Structure 1
Amino acid sequence: VLCGLVHFARSASRIPRAAPLRHLQSKLSRNFSQSFDGEAATLFQSFFQNGAPAWAETVSAVRRVNASPSTIIDIASGPGEPACSLSEAFPTSSVICSDSSPDMVEMARTRSEQLGRSNMTFSVDNMNDLSTYGDGTKDIVTAQFGLMFSPDLSIALSEIHRVLKPEGHLVATVWQEFDLFPLIKETMTEILGKPPPAPPINPMSLADPDPLDAALAAAGFEIAEGHREVKDITFNMGPSTDEKAYKACLIPVLPKLKEMQEESEENEDFIAKALGILKIVAAKQISKQGDLQLSGVYRYVVVKKPGNQARR
């Protein structure tokens, strides 16, 4: 869930000011899922393959709040994690792997088949519309690096609260720091000749825990064990001699770069230009072994739906 930010900005700018908010949210969500399809979905594997430590941490976080959940839904699951890890850790649980991108869901299905998981089902869903699922039907909802991409966090949290059973838990992760985003900003500043506009949906928007905790409380959640726990993670993107390592880093801005190429009267290759700039600005991220490495810090969101609370 690292891509589509500039695509969001471009799509939002095309919606008339008088358009209803729900229309805007629907269009943003649709374009966001499309930005994870095709080439971007393939490139995302470079990030995905580095996520195993975070998947294991999420399994542990879930186990702390519920040792034997019967139903788990992993939203914004991408190519199937932590859903597949959860299905292995809780073999008697029913695990739903959900993402807004059909391509991602198909990748997840393939991954599940390769791993021999028999307790998983798959669904294309937007976290702001979980109407596929009834009220109070899930023990656990997980969202690894996904909440910050909701067009309206209050709606997403309300939907998660609705589908959880009383005493059910949301276990999520959000970015607190990540090397990637300053590198992208520096690259696009060089391309555009000025700092790029702030994206309408910002991957670092939940870095401050206080506003998020306020939103969680407003949605009816209570703090649970493990909330605000902080973890480090390193993404090894591969050899610095491999262009794919850098192109994967450009996922958030690939739609914008492609648009600029299409509109260029000189047929300028903006993707190649961005890759060249990124290789320079990311020089400090090269390890002694010659790999491109990105470090990050993420924070856990672990909250509970009260048992005595009426359905919302």
Structure 2
Amino acid sequence: MATSGIENSSGKAGEGRVKNAILIAGPTASGKSALALDLAEREGGVIVNTDSMQGYSVLDVLTARPSAADLARAPHFLYGHVHPSTAYSTGAWLRDVMKLIDDGVLSGRPVIFVGGTGLYFRALAEGISEMPDIPQRIRDRWRYELKEQGAVKLHQILMHEDSRVAMTLKPTDSQRIVRALEVLDASGRSILEWQAARGQPLIDRNGAHFIVIEPDRAALVARIEARFDQMLDKGALDEVRRLAALDLDADLPAMKAIGVRELQAAMAGNMGFPEAIERAKIATRQYAKRQATWFRHQLGPEWRRSGTGDETEVI
């Protein structure tokens, strides 16, 4: 069975292949992208997206991807390269990073990983479990079953086929239920067995710089609210219209980007735009709080904590 492990084309594990990496984590709107760009310009480095939502196309503005002016200042990779119809995963992102390494585009210069997705940073620094390749016919089958039968029925099927996994999942957790069924169908093995085998870290931990931005809460809230207003001015509504025109499954990750459901509801006349905007801002604040909590409890002592994101403070 072919797997999606982090091995390069010669079959050697990817451990430590990225030397002197700089990892910059932080909640949304914390200023981490600006810091990464300043460092990339100063050090002649490249920037690699480490945020799950910024990898999707269509949602340029609503996911706060770097602007055209920012992209012109330093090389950026893995931004907007995934169609919203794809359920992009941590494993898929790690494979994309490995391809950048194999293609030589990260060689000979500092590599700055920046974003807000904690699992991506954990995969870089600790490695992740290998998973089987899922044939498209199997992927399509279980997505069809989800649409026809619903998550609760699929949870019952999983309980019969792999009760250990099913008991760890809520009956409404459609994405994880489908993933567990896909893995079982494709490999004949429980997803728990695959998860038990840890992969290898991709970066050289000894030479890496670990930075997590922890901004003042009040200042962060103000930035979140001002930024969402700017997103609306820059065309966020048009992006939501283009996304809606694709007629995608509402359970896909891209469809859950903050602001999509709220603005869609306003466009459909189900609520006023002021209410939709306020709800999106509240959702963003809640998301930033969850990110900050995860970083606080899940990132180890090697991570340098910065309150401002000022490069003179963190480097």
Structure 1 length-normalised TM: 0.33
Q: Calculate the TM-score normalised by the size of structure 2.
A: 0.33
Greater percentage in strand: 1
The structure with higher relative contact order (CA 8 Å, sep 6+) is 2
The structure where helix makes up a greater share of residues is 2
